[in-house]
Each structure stands twice: as C-alpha cells, then as structure tokens.
Amino acid sequence: MQNRLLAIAAIAGALAAPIAAQAQSDTVGVVRGGSVVVGEHEGITAEQRPAFREYVVRERVPTFTIPDRITVGSVLPDAGITYYDVPQTVAATPYRYTVVNGQTVLVEPRSRRIVQVVD
C-alpha cells in the first residue's frame, strides 16, 4: 500500500507530462492529470497472460476499430464496442475486456476507462 501511495504522490507532482511507471507489481498510468492504478491482484498478471491470450484467441473475440490511440486511462466510446467478462479460470478481476485496434485491454465497466493493455 505504501508503494502505491508513493507512486501516486510521484505522479501528482508530474501533472504536466503524461507518464507510465512501474511501481513494484502495480501498473500506474497518468493521462491528462487523472491517474489509474491497477494492482496485480486486480488486473491480468504476467503469469496469467499466456492463458488469457489463448482464451481470447479461442473465443474469436472481434477487434473493434477506433481512431484514437489505445493507452491506459483512455475512455472507450459508449456505443459500438462489446465488453466481455474475464473468465474466473484465468483471473479474478473486477474489470471486463475487449479487443480494440488489435490490442486486448481491460476496462473499468462503468466508466469504460482502459486500466490495462494486455500485451
């Protein structure tokens, strides 16, 4: 928790420049002054990524195309994109996923804000 707070404090001091940082196992991103913190227990961990990628390919999830760049903190359009539950066999997460511009992303369901780009 202390590392998360330190990361947020460091980001708050750099509001003028969007950055991405790695704070131990948390992914931190800043976009236009707003921060997004995804703890390893909330997103897809490095160990879970191969199984998650296989699942997305096996399910033949369609890719949606948008004109914007895909980055942590970006908000996806409210129409035209389908969001899917992450299977509990792969990861326990409060987020949903979709594929946009060929990239699989985790999204906060209510705000449609990207919280993790799963590479």
Do residues 118 and 82 share a domain? yes
- Residue 100's domain spans which residues? 41-119
Do residues 35 and 50 share a domain? no
Task: For 58-81, write each residue's pLDDT tens digit.
Answer: 999 999 999 989 999 999 998 999
Do residues 72 and 109 share a domain? yes
Alpha carbon distance 46, 83 (integer Å): 22
Do residues 76 and 32 share a domain? no
Alpha carbon distance 75, 68 (integer Å): 10
Task: For 6-60, write each residue's pLDDT tens digit.
Answer: 444 444 444 333 333 333 334 434 334 343 444 444 799 999 999 999 999 999 9
Structural domains in the chain (count): 2
Cα diameter, the chain: 43
Task: For 88-112, write each residue's pLDDT tens digit.
Answer: 999 999 999 999 999 999 999 999 9
pLDDT at 7: 43
- pLDDT greater than 90 at residue 118: yes
Q: CATH code at 98?
A: 3.10.450.160
Do residues 53 and 32 share a domain? no
